[in-house]
Structure 1
């Protein structure tokens, strides 16, 4: 069975030292989690049968937490298991555009991710717009976070309406993947997924048996081409995410699209 993890990261010491991470680790009962060898990530993927993971870089207002070059080194070490997802410094718009071009054209990255709560800037802020133009020009998805935050940071930047609604109106060609489901605004999420053909959702940060019922119904039916599997490793393990997959009641087509097909199509994965 082919499975693609649409949101994962291999944390650095800088990432693990971020002050906002402590509350998330306490919430997920992972106090003491530390940076780990690459093989630990591969082993976790193997345990759950993950074929490929999209590894995210992270940049905060305070600086790089996982750099694009560090992700590129990870991908180069295991090109059979990883693909890179770039990030940028929103305060440097032209630098951000140049960096996206470098990551996609030179390093082979397959997407761009910016986490709004990390910047406390919703995605309709003007500082994102050069990023969207670069993503459209290069044909890569823009990945972001929707819904409440685990860290003790404001959740409002992750609210789908009006913020993402305005972005999707302004950039009809932009492919957007909203990660972390979007709870508690799940009806706003599904309304955007109905309204905009280029808006998608990934289930990262959730064990599958905890997905909102309305999202599961969407996944079973008309939304089967719009929902992607993800983990948010190492905050939650692939094995834990997938443990109760059968309870979703997916037919063969919906299961295949959810676990891998949608990600392979959107990110142009071979």
Structure 2
């Protein structure tokens, strides 16, 4: 079993955003355009050997790029393959908390994802704190991005230190899933994950062969094997491509199972 901890089934308005021009340049135009049927995403999962994917909504200051309603509809179409992750409007903390409660309690969403770089504020901004409290109350993880920002927005909000470290100190019961490995601050990200019991890392936006060496070493360690989750960031990276280099890591059977499946099951309560 393989679970993808970070994916999107993209809408046309999501793919059309000019913030992704840098990603299109890096991938040589591999990122799709236009409206994509759900069967295309499911076929990409099949081709890459991904059994289930957590697909996220995207709420941005300029508007909703992928709505919670759309995610709920897609999960309803493929409930054995897709798992919903909500997104909310950071500018409206209490309506966002109510929205999150509804999605989790009534529709089975398992997490919320908000990207600080999209709002151009650090994740220690006061508007995040009601969400963190709601996540603890609901027993769900808060998912975010760490490291530099590939899209055309500032990278500063992605620093693990001081931001993730501060949040974990203020909310020790909160599970924080830190996507995109934290590069170029991967060593900081690992230090924060070692320090805080409920901070984990997902490898989305990187093919396995491009993972920073320090993260690979951490993944193979006794404590790190329970702290790193496989992710793709589909459609930016297709599942099949994300696995490039997996066998070369020479993970033992337990570590490989935790990385591809077990850690995600535990973190997201699957």
In 2, distance between residues paired with 1:65 and 1:90?
14
Quick one: distance in 2 between partners of 1:92 and 1:18?
23
Counterpart in the other structure of 2:214: 214
Quote the Cα distance in structure 1 between the aligned partners of 2:235 and 2:41: 8
Alignment-derived partner of residue 72 in structure 2: 72
TM-score, with normalisation over the residues of structure 1? 0.97
Tell me whether 1:25 sits opposite 2:24 in the alignment.
Answer: yes
**Contact map agreement 2:180 2:205 (CA 8 A) in 1:** yes
Post-superposition, which runs of at least 4 consecutive aligned residues in structure 1 deviate over 4 A? none
2:237 aligns with: 236
Instruction: Name the CA distance, whole Å, in 1 between partners of 2:192 and 2:150.
Output: 23
* Contact 1:4-1:260 at 8 Å conserved across structures: yes
Q: Distance in 2 between matches of 1:87 and 1:214?
A: 31
Q: Distance in 2 between matches of 1:248 and 1:69?
A: 39
> Which residue is equivalent to 1:81?
81
What residue in structure 2 maps to residue 9 of structure 1? 8
Query: Distance in 2 between the 1:253 and 1:207 partners?
Result: 21
Query: Higher mean Cα deviation, 19-28 or 213-222?
Result: 19-28
What displacement does 1:32 show?
6.7
Cα distance in 1 for partners of 2:31, 2:24 equals 8
**d(CA) in 1 for partners of 2:170, 2:162:** 12
Aligned length: 268
Q: Is the 8 A contact 1:27 1:150 kept in 2?
A: no
Q: Which consecutive unaligned segments of at least 5 residues does structure 2 have? A: none
CA–CA separation in structure 2 for the residues paired with 1:116 and 1:32: 23
Counterpart residue number, 1:259: 260
Matched-pair contact (CA < 8 Å) for 2:3–2:53 = yes
- Alpha-carbon contact 2:116-2:145 (below 8 Å) kept: yes
Q: CA RMSD in A?
A: 0.9
List runs of 5+ in structure 1 lacking aligned partners: none
Shift of 1:31: 6.0
Q: In 2, distance between residues paired with 1:171 and 1:199?
A: 11
Q: Deviations over 1:82-104 (max 9, x none)?
A: 00000000000111100110110
Residues 175-217 of structure 1 show CA distances to partners (whole Å, capped at 9, x for unaligned) of 0000000000011101101100100000000000000001000
How high is the TM-score relative to the length of structure 2?
0.97
Residue 246 of structure 2 is matched in structure 1 by 245
In 2, the alpha carbon distance for the partners of 1:200 and 1:29 equals: 31
